């Protein structure tokens, strides 16, 4: 047996995008997966679920043959068919929809199950070439990005290597230990080297909160209030940097006047934190210019999330932290790579007049809600790659009704028979990242990386790129990208972007795209035309890829504030529910992997002991959570990690793991969040009930 270590990149939807070293055994199988020690962000560390990737890639449950549905949707009854037959049937289904209902009745639907640019975004080329309904991927960053951009004007920030030069690291609304473990490596270095303090801000005691020096456990959706009160204290205590603000920000006087009436007591009432906690946080960030704000995604998954992101981002502009090494903020890094995406996405043949449908509103789209269909006709055919909407999309009752439609032709390209694949007419087996070549950018760091093909896929699996090209031929879609290999596309994309060549990237493994100090700290100006940081958010014109999509931005606060638009708990719905990530899953990926399942045990509702006592629920009992959208049944876990009246359910399990086959997104809303869309996954009001013992026993 010969084992060699080969370079790779983790393709999963995670900010870390780790550089990997994979043990390849006899050129055929993989062994352990390690983090690359020399890649400065990864620094040799990967999460446990990817370290044991052999379990996923060599799983006996992998799809390896195209399947044609023979039983009812969702039944899991399929017969194997050949690739030729599968492609012919798929093409015929799409051509038929186009003939009868127009090209916009076909909606290609994809997300970031792989973050590789060719495999993830290549489907766009087919969409544009065929003038199919366009796609607006708002499920993850649809709320947070406009919030950041309203302030900073461009999607980049201070690079990760300055975290270890900070005196305070604020981990805001991200459970980094679970969702981006490498952040902890760098925060811990700051603590060891400089005695830096780590602050975590969340709604329950996560592992990240437990590792923090100051853990602020606030009410869901109240981060804007905390940020505003912090700014109030900074002005009050002369900790605001007036020279910095005069030079680099748009409206410091207006901000000062605005926050003057919003002090620590005001914030304590809204957030549920004590005045002392608010004061302590403000003093820490005010007295330490080298404060690094790592602003996560989680706190933006609220109806007021964009506004809260903007409010948090205003703090370093008040303290002037941006001007200092180790100071400033980071949310994502998309703008540093400057890649020309024309070839990959077929932007040269895009017709901007074709309607664009929101990813998060898939249920509303498929059930024919007029406004979700953007004024057009129904969607009749879908090709789905790298996403599992039957689990991850909000308002599952709608999603389920939509995918159950007899007149919907759906084709799912997948690695496993997911809940979404079970609903499909045709299921196509996909390769995994070590079985194809792709190019990766990241949000937590600024390296452009190549993940080369390391082993052959199981016979029968084809990559996303291969599928898109084969379908294009049958659909009469024209674009030069359909005649190129993935490697050729990567090479040309690098060359036209001024990022070297494929051969160079392969030799070097990653390309360092970190901006200069002045750029990273916006000392040469923020992203807005006036070069200033904007305390006044111009929501309608946040420089976001919304391309004319309009949302409910008019009602949003301009200066940072607490925007009270969230689902309010009380009365019939006494609890707020958040659906936070599970450490051993990645969204719904790994929810079928044995070790991950064993570690996560089963779907649970974390319930505060006081609430449990009132409900008559004991640890391990079955509870039902519900609201106007539906209800789910799962086991209660008593824990004072949550605040009273706040319930947390971790992880995106398979639907059948729930006691009545309905997953947690049954409870979430698909209402489009301001300013441009996205889903408020952690902003849900529910009732909770103990299930009668006999019912519970019947379910076991």
Ligand X SMILES: Nc1nc2c(c(=O)[nH]1)N[C@H]1C(S)=C(S)[C@@H](COP(=O)(O)OP(=O)(O)OC[C@H]3O[C@@H](n4cnc5c(=O)[nH]c(N)nc54)[C@H](O)[C@@H]3O)O[C@H]1N2
The strand ranges marked E within 441-582 are 447-451, 510-512, 575-578
Sheet containing 447-451: order of strands = 438-440, 447-451, 510-512
* CB contact set of 406 (below 8 Å; sequence gap of 6+): none
Q: Shortest gap between Cβ of 466 and ligand X (angstroms)? A: 11
Asked if residue 120 lies in contact with residue 114, where contact means CB atoms within 8 angstroms, the answer is yes
CB 118 within 8 A of CB 465: yes
Rounded CA-CA distance 568/319 in Å is: 33
Residue whose CB is less far from ligand X, 391 or 520: 391
Contact 20, 34 (CB under 8 A): yes
Pick the piece of the chain touching ligand X (CB under 6 A) from 32-40, 471-479, 537-545, 662-670: 662-670
- Residue from 133, 288, 579, 642 binding ligand X (CB under 6 A): 579
Q: Which of 41, 94, 107, 111 binds ligand X (CB under 6 A)?
A: 111
Q: How far apart are CA 308 and CA 312, in angstroms?
A: 6
220 is an interface residue for ligand X by CB under 6 A:
yes
**Collapsing DSSP states into helix, strand and coil, what is residue 577?**
strand
d(CA 300, CA 533): 20
Taking Cα atoms as reference points, which of 677, 566, 560, 671 lies closest to residue 308? 560
Interface mask toward ligand X for 505-524; x: CB under 6 A: --------------------
Stretch that binds ligand X, among 69-77, 518-526, 575-583, 628-636 (CB under 6 A): 575-583
- Asked whether position 109 contacts ligand X by CB under 6 A, the answer is no
Residues that bind ligand SF4 (CB under 6 A): 10, 12, 14, 16-18, 46-47, 50, 181, 586
The nearest distance, CB 670 to ligand X, in angstroms, is: 11
Cβ proximity to ligand SF4, 10 vs 490, nearer residue: 10
409 binds, among ligand SF4, ligand X, Mo ion, none (CB under 5 to 8 A by kind): none
263: preceding bond cis by omega (within 30 degrees): no
Measure the CA–CA gap between 400 and 405, rounded to whole angstroms: 9
Closest C-alpha among 685, 671, 684 to residue 552:
671
Gap between the Cα atoms of 120 and 112, Å rounded: 6
In the stretch 359-388, what mask flags binding to ligand X with x, by CB under 6 A?
--------------------------xxxx
What is the DSSP-derived secondary structure letter of residue 620? T
Please state the φ and ψ torsions of residue 205, each to the nearest 5 degrees: -80, 90
Pick the closer one to ligand X by CB: 170 or 245. 170
The pattern of x and - marking residues 586 through 605 that bind ligand X according to CB under 6 A reads: xxxx----------------
Residue whose CB is less far from ligand SF4, 12 or 624:
12
Rg of the chain over all Cα atoms, to the nearest angstrom: 25
Least spacing, CB of residue 34 vs ligand SF4, in Å: 10
Q: Running DSSP on this structure, what letter comes out for residue 604?
A: E
Q: How many residues does the chain have?
A: 700
**At closest approach, how far in Å is the CB of 319 from ligand X?**
19
Q: What angle do CA 245, 247, 252 make, to 5 degrees?
A: 30
CB of 606 to ligand X, least distance (A): 10
Out of 9, 22, 139, 411, name the contact with ligand X by CB under 6 A.
Answer: 139
Residue 178 touching Mo ion (CB under 5 A)? no
181 makes contact, choosing from ligand X, Mo ion, ligand SF4, none, with CB < 5 to 8 Å by partner type, with: ligand SF4
Show contacts with ligand X in window 628-657 (CB under 6 A). 652
Smallest distance from Mo ion to CB 148, Å: 15
Please identify, among the stretches 30-38, 219-227, 241-249, 530-538, the one whose residues bind ligand X according to the rule CB under 6 A.
219-227
Spatial separation of the C-alpha atoms in residues 140 and 183, rounded to whole Å:
19
Token pair of 451 as six digits:
């993940």
* Backbone dihedral region for residue 346 (phi beyond 0: left; psi -120 to 50: alpha; all else: beta): left
Query: Among the candidate windows 235-243, 322-330, 538-546, 579-587, which touches ligand X by CB under 6 A?
Result: 579-587
Q: Which of 183, 270, 392, 468 binds ligand X (CB under 6 A)?
A: 392
Residue 668 sits in the site that holds ligand X (CB under 6 A) = yes
For residue 464, state whether it binds ligand X (rule: CB under 6 A).
yes
Chain center to CA of 259: 31
**Which partner, Mo ion, ligand X, ligand SF4, none, binds residue 392 by CB below 5 to 8 Å per kind?**
ligand X
CB of 441 to Mo ion, least distance (A): 15
Q: What angle do CA 177, 609, 686 make, to 5 degrees?
A: 80
Interaction between residue 448 and Mo ion (CB under 5 A): no
Distance CA 138, CA 527 (A): 22
Which two structure tokens, joined as six digits, stand for 448? 């452009």
If the CB atoms of residues 210 and 473 are measured against ligand X, the closer one turns out to be: 210
CB of 97 to ligand X, least distance (A): 21
317 binds, among Mo ion, ligand X, ligand SF4, none (CB under 5 to 8 A by kind): none
CB 423 within 8 A of CB 409: no
Which of 320, 581, 603, 675 is close enough to bind ligand X by CB under 6 A? 581
CB 379 within 8 A of CB 107: yes
Contact of 377 with 355, CB cutoff 8 Å: no
With CB cut-offs between 5 and 8 Å by kind, which of ligand X, Mo ion, ligand SF4, none does residue 10 bind?
A: ligand SF4
Binding mask 10-49 for ligand X (x = CB under 6 A): ---xx-----------------------------------
296 lies in the site for ligand X, by CB under 6 A: yes
End-to-end Cα, the chain, rounded Å: 45
- Which span sits near ligand X by CB under 6 A: 69-77, 362-370, 585-593, 619-627? 585-593
Cβ-contact 251, 227 below 8 angstroms = no
Stretch that binds ligand X, among 76-84, 157-165, 297-305, 495-503 (CB under 6 A): 297-305
Q: What is the sign of the dihedral through the CA atoms of 579, 583, 586 and 589?
A: negative
Closest CA relative to residue 129, chosen from 346, 340, 355, 342: 346
The contact mask relative to Mo ion for 113-142 (x = CB under 5 A, - = no) is ---------------------------x--
Q: Which residues bind Mo ion (CB under 5 A)?
A: 140
Q: Which residues bind ligand X (CB under 6 A)?
A: 13-14, 111-114, 119, 139-140, 173-175, 178-179, 201-204, 206, 220-221, 223, 296-299, 301-302, 385-388, 392, 413-416, 418, 430, 464, 578-583, 585-589, 652, 664-665, 668, 681-682
């Amino acid at each position: 047996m010969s084992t060699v270590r080969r370079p790779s990149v983790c393709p999963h939807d995670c900010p870390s995008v780790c550089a990997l070293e994979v043990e390849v055994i006899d050129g055929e199988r993989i062994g352990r997966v390690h983090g690359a020690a020399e890649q400065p962000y990864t620094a040799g560390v990967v999460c446990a679920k990817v370290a044991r990737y052999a379990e996923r890639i060599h799983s006996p449950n992998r799809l390896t043959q195209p399947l044609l549905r023979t039983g009812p949707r969702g039944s899991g009854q399929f017969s194997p068919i050949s690739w030729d037959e599968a492609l012919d049937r798929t093409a015929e289904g799409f051509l038929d929809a186009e003939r009868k209902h127009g090209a916009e009745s076909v909606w290609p639907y994809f997300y970031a199950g792989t973050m590789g640019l060719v495999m993830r975004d290549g489907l766009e080329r087919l969409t544009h070439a065929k003038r199919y309904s366009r796609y607006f991927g708002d499920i993850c960053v649809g709320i947070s990005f406009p919030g950041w951009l309203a302030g900073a004007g461009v999607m980049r920030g201070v690079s990760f290597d300055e975290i270890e030069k900070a005196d305070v690291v604020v981990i805001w609304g991200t459970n980094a230990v679970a969702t981006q473990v490498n952040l902890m490596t760098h925060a811990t270095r700051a603590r060891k080297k400089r005695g830096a303090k780590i602050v975590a801000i969340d709604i329950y005691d996560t592992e990240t909160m437990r590792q923090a020096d100051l853990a602020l456990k606030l009410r869901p959706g109240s981060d804007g209030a905390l940020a505003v009160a912090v700014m109030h204290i900074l002005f009050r205590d002369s900790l605001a940097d007036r020279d910095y603000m005069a030079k680099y920000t748009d409206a410091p006087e207006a901000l000062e006047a605005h926050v003057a009436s919003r002090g620590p007591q005001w914030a304590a009432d809204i957030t549920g934190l004590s005045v002392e906690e608010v004061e302590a946080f403000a003093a820490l960030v005010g007295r330490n210019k080298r404060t690094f704000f790592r602003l996560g995604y989680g706190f933006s998954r609220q109806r007021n999330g964009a506004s809260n992101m903007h409010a948090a981002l205003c703090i370093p502009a008040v303290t002037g932290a941006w001007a200092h090494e180790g100071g400033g903020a980071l949310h994502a890094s998309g703008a540093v790579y400057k890649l020309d995406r024309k070839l990959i996405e077929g932007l040269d043949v895009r017709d901007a007049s074709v309607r664009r449908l929101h990813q998060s509103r898939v249920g509303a789209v498929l059930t024919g809600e007029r406004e979700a269909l953007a004024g057009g006709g129904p969607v009749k055919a879908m090709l789905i790659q790298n996403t599992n909407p039957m689990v991850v999309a909000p308002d599952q009752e709608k999603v389920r009704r939509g995918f159950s439609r007899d007149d919907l032709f759906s084709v799912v390209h997948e690695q496993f028979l997911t809940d979404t694949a079970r609903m499909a007419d045709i299921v196509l087996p996909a390769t995994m990242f070590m079985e194809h070549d792709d190019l990766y950018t990241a949000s937590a760091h600024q390296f452009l990386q190549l993940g080369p093909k390391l082993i052959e896929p199981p016979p029968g699996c084809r990559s996303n790129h291969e599928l898109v090209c084969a379908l294009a031929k049958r659909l009469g879609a024209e674009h030069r990208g359909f005649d190129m290999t993935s490697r050729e596309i990567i090479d040309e994309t690098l060359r036209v972007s001024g990022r070297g060549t494929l051969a160079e990237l392969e030799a070097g493994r990653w390309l360092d795209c970190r901006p200069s100090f002045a750029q990273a700290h916006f000392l040469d100006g923020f992203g807005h035309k006036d070069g200033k940081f904007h305390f006044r958010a111009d929501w309608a014109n946040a420089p976001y890829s919304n391309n004319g999509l309009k949302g409910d931005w008019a009602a949003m606060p301009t200066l940072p504030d607490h925007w009270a638009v969230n689902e309010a708990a009380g009365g019939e719905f006494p609890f707020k529910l958040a659906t936070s990530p599970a450490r051993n899953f990645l969204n719904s990926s790994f929810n079928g992997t044995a070790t991950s399942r064993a570690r996560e045990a089963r779907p649970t509702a974390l319930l505060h002991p006081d609430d449990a006592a009132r409900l008559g629920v004991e640890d391990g009992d079955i509870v039902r959570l519900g609201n106007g959208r539906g209800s789910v049944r799962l086991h209660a876990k008593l824990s004072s990690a949550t605040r009273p009246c706040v319930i947390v359910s971790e992880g995106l399990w398979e639907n059948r793991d729930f006691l009545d086959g309905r997953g947690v997104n049954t409870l979430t809303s698909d209402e489009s969040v301001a300013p441009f869309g996205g889903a408020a996954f952690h902003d849900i009001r529910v009732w909770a009930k103990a299930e009668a013992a006999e019912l519970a026993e019947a379910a076991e």
